[in-house]
Amino acid sequence: MTIEEILQCLPYGPDFLFVDGLDHIDQNGVRGHYTFNAEMDCYKGHFKKYPVTPGVLLTETMAQIGLVCLGIYITADMESCRGRSFALTSSEIEFRLPVFPGEKVTVISEKVYFRFGKLKCKVKLQNKEGKEVCSGTISGMILKTDA
C-alpha cells in the first residue's frame, strides 16, 4: 500500500485530520508530519494571551500518524479501507514543550506489537528543531464497521 493510499483511507474529515503527510512507513513504524493552522478555533481560548496547542490535539496527532496510519499499512493485506475503523484504547503521554500556532511537528512511531487486532506503539512528537515535545505509548484496536 502506498503512502497516498494510506492517506486516502484515513477515517477523518478535514476539520479533524491531523496528518499532512508521511515521510516513511514500514511494518515496524512510521514517520509523518503536520502543521497546526494558526487559525484553529482552539487557539482563541487556550490560552487567551498565550495560545498553545492543547495536549489532547498533540495526542490525537500522534494517534492519527503513529497508530492509525501504521495500522492501515500493517493490515493492508488483510482488509480494504472499507468496513473498518480504529479506536484508541489507551495512551500514556508525557508533555515537555509547548507547540504554538502555525508550528510544524513530526511524529515518530515504533511498533511495540500487533496482535489480535490491537496495535501498541511507542510514539514521540518533535518540533521543527527536532526537540521532543511529548512522548509515550498509544494503543488502539481495529474495529469492523458496517460501512
Relative to beta strand 21-26, strand 29-35 is: antiparallel
Relative to beta strand 104-115, strand 29-35 is: antiparallel
Residue closest to 129 by CA, chosen among 103, 102, 96: 103
Q: From CA 135, how far away is CA 120, in angstroms rounded?
A: 14
Q: Is 33 a catalytic residue?
A: no
Q: For residue 115, give the H/E element and its range.
A: strand 104-115
* Unique residue bearing C-alpha cell 487486532: 117
Active-site hit among 46, 118, 120, 122? 46
Contact 72, 9 (CB under 8 A): yes
Q: Report, as residue numbers or ranges, the catalytic residues.
A: 46
